Amino acid sequence: MVVETEIKAPRAMKDFYQQIGLRDYPFNMYTAENEGKYASEIFVHPQNYDAIKESFDSGRSIIIRGNRGTGKTALLNDLQDSISMSDCLTCIIDDYSKLSIRPTTQEYYQLIITSITDALFEKLFDERNRLKQLSKEDKLFLSLLLEQYTSQVTQSELTRKIESIQLSKIRRFVKGKINLIRAVCNYGLTAGLNVVNDVIRNYLTYLPPLNESQIRDIMPHVNLNAELSFNEEEASYNLILRICEVVHKLGFKRITSFFDKFDEDSRMENDAEKISEFVSPLLKDNKLLENEKIQLIISVWEVPFRRLIGVVRTQKHYCPILEWSTPFLVSALNKRLYVFSDKAITDFRSIFCQDVSDEDIKEIIFLSNGNPRDLWHILNYIFQNQHSIDDGSTVLTKKAVHQGLNEFVIHFNFYEYYPKKPKAKANTMDVYSYIKHLLKLTSEVFTKNQLNDATNIGGGTISNYVVGMENIGLIVNTKEKSHGGVLYRISDPKVVYAIKNHLDISR
């Protein structure tokens, strides 16, 4: 007699994590943008937050460094949120499509001018009375900025807002301009922008219209008289200062420009050399970084930044590296679980089974390498494995932890930290080639001779390999010696874990 056994349908992942105590799943969001409504609730200060915040509050320009996933964007969002919006003018610059692949200082100045001008008119839309504080000349200058330096996106958005306001004056104006607007549809974009500027200027009633003679009167203040020869870079720099002067007259005590996501420009192709060349003009501009009239907060990926150490005045400018020691990582994890569980989970240890030892927990923290994003990836692998092992479990078991850690190491994209040139030849040494040799060692600490004995690379070439690995930060020189040879240490914990657990890491 055959006994039929009922095959139970697998429990959905949502049902699984909810039985553990989570309302929503916290480990499949890896960027500040993805975190959306949770971003402010789950934000935790990195280790050196107080020093960064103190410098920020003092109006000092800062170059914030960090590997991917250390929370640079989240930190910038937090700093911006901490500013009094009534006293400060801020803009976030994260679209560099208008810059060339090797931008000049002049191009960066133009980007700053456009971004500040856009932010200013967004503010003035809601606070028109500020314009009363300006002289006629300053108002003419603002009209010039509106005419020449606001982006089409900002002009369109301002016009849309104006048209949505139910005021009779606006209705009368739009009615009076209807034939012009119809002409725009027929005669093209250039005429359209003129009408857009008319719409905005008529809403910001304190702004006068421009004519040729008035422009000539105000232009010399920024060294841009068309009849004289001039240096475009210097002229643009002076224009930034002139804008700052007018912004302060409007009652804003501080002007802050945030720069972020240089490496997300598709043209960079994850190439650290390209990115370092791209940001170099901005990071080397000591004149702008030290100017007290404007504050720059620049977020930059640590890998390309290291290539600029020799040319960026790191001793002169404040260039903190985002740091996450174990207590701060644990605090970030607990905060995340607390928010995503509707305050039910206060200690991450409660979601792990008793068979998960303190050593297992240390391994999780060790592999995260001081990086919150890596920690979220690790937890995601552990949750996925627990769901596969036993979807009825209400805790994460030792088996799921070990399988999750193994998968995290095996599937990790090392090009995120150690980028390869996009057009490099297949046989070019890159991080995966280096790791392949390191995995033949039995210890994370080694000498050149020990590496040579394990790999049979050859004495003449082994030094080149060591230099290459040291240059990308995969190994570090300990400055110690053993049996007459310098000791090197593997700095990436994932490679150390792979050696210890006999795991293979390949592309």
pLDDT interval class at 164 (50, 70, 90):
low
pLDDT interval class at 188 (50, 70, 90):
very low
Which runs of E-coded beta strand occur in 47-158? 62-66, 88-93
pTM as predicted: 0.85
Among the ranges given (120-124, 193-197, 248-252, 269-273), the one the predictor scored with the smallest mean pLDDT: 193-197
Q: What is the pLDDT of residue 186?
A: 46
Q: What is the pLDDT of residue 35?
A: 82
Please say whether the beta carbons of 218 and 141 come within 8 A. Answer: yes
pLDDT surpasses 50 at 132: yes
pLDDT interval class at 187 (50, 70, 90):
very low
pLDDT surpasses 60 at 175: no
Q: How far is CA 462 from the centre of its chain?
A: 37
Angle at 33 between CA 29 and CA 38, to 5 degrees: 65
- pLDDT tens track for 352-394: 999 999 999 999 999 999 999 999 999 999 999 999 999 999 9
- pLDDT tens track for 311-329: 999 999 999 999 899 999 9
- pLDDT tens track for 83-114: 987 889 999 999 999 999 999 999 999 999 99
Q: Span 467-496, mean pLDDT? A: 92
Average pLDDT, the chain: 87
Q: What is the pLDDT of residue 459?
A: 67
Please report how many Cα atoms fall inside a 13 Å half-sphere around the Cα of residue 7, on the Cβ side: 1
Q: What is the pLDDT of residue 147?
A: 84
Beta bridge partners of 299: 64
Structure tokens at 498: 């792979």
- 189-203 vs 168-176: helix crossing angle, rounded to 10: 150
Q: What is the pLDDT of residue 392?
A: 94
Give the residue from 279, 248, 249, 277 showing the smallest Cα distance to 262: 279
SS (H, E, C) 145-173: HHHHCCCHHHHHHHHHHHHHCCCHHHHHH
CA distance 448 to 467: 11
CA distance 115 to 431: 38
Beta bridge partners of 318: 62
Q: Span 155-174, mean pLDDT? A: 60
DSSP conformation class of 352:
B
Q: Span 267-282, mean pLDDT? A: 93
* Largest Cα–Cα separation, the chain: 104
SS (H, E, C) 354-376: CCCCHHHHHHHHHHHCCCHHHHH
Q: What is the pLDDT of residue 453?
A: 92
pLDDT interval class at 230 (50, 70, 90):
very low
